[in-house]
Amino acid sequence: MKKVYALIAAAGLVLGASVASANDTVEGSAAGAGISDSVTVKASVEKYAAIIGLIQTVTTDASGKASSSIGGEAEFSVESNCDVNITITGTDLNNGSDNLDTTWTLDTTTAEGVALPQTYDPSGAVDHTATFGATLGAISAQAAGEYSANLTVTVAAL
């Protein structure tokens, strides 16, 4: 029974302390500099990013000659309020029936599927370039015409 009373008393003390601290009172002489009291205000900003202006800018057309190259570039910018990883994934160039094994590279050196870190830059967005390219096979291995591929850019907070 004594333990129960002790627990109740302890709980009362804790409750009393919390109530006492809920409203802070300052008092004293109002003469001269007076007295002051304050309240601290806090806010938080979640991690956020934007991919801006993803657009294909350059395309190198293949002549149709065997083993010639075809490719191009896509440019975009990433703005964030934190450090992020940027990853690109792309599909092969395809005309609906013929497929060209396509290589994608981010900012010249980072391979498709590999994360490129971008540190927080208070000055704004940072530009990036995704490069794609493929090599034709035999002349008849791929039909003449338009080929297309899809590029996906992923930005994730570190």
Interface with another protein by CB under 8 A: which residues? 21-50, 79-82, 120-125, 157
**In whole angstroms, how close is the CB of 79 to another protein at the nearest point?**
5
Q: Of 29 and 109, which CB lies nearer to another protein in the complex structure? A: 29
- Please count the other Cβ atoms lying within 10 Å of the Cβ belonging to residue 106: 21
With contact defined as beta carbons under 8 Å apart, do 131 and 57 qualify? no
**In whole angstroms, how close is the CB of 136 to another protein at the nearest point?**
42
Q: Of 49 and 70, which CB lies nearer to another protein in the complex structure? A: 49
- Please count the other Cβ atoms lying within 10 Å of the Cβ belonging to residue 149: 19
**In whole angstroms, how close is the CB of 129 to another protein at the nearest point?**
20
**In whole angstroms, how close is the CB of 37 to another protein at the nearest point?**
4
DSSP 140: G
Q: Of 25 and 108, which CB lies nearer to another protein in the complex structure? A: 25
Measure the CA–CA gap between 74 and 105, rounded to whole angstroms: 10
Q: Which residues of 11-26 are buried (b: 16+ CB within 10 A; e: fewer)?
A: eeeeeeeeeeeeeeee
Q: Of 70 and 126, which CB lies nearer to another protein in the complex structure? A: 126
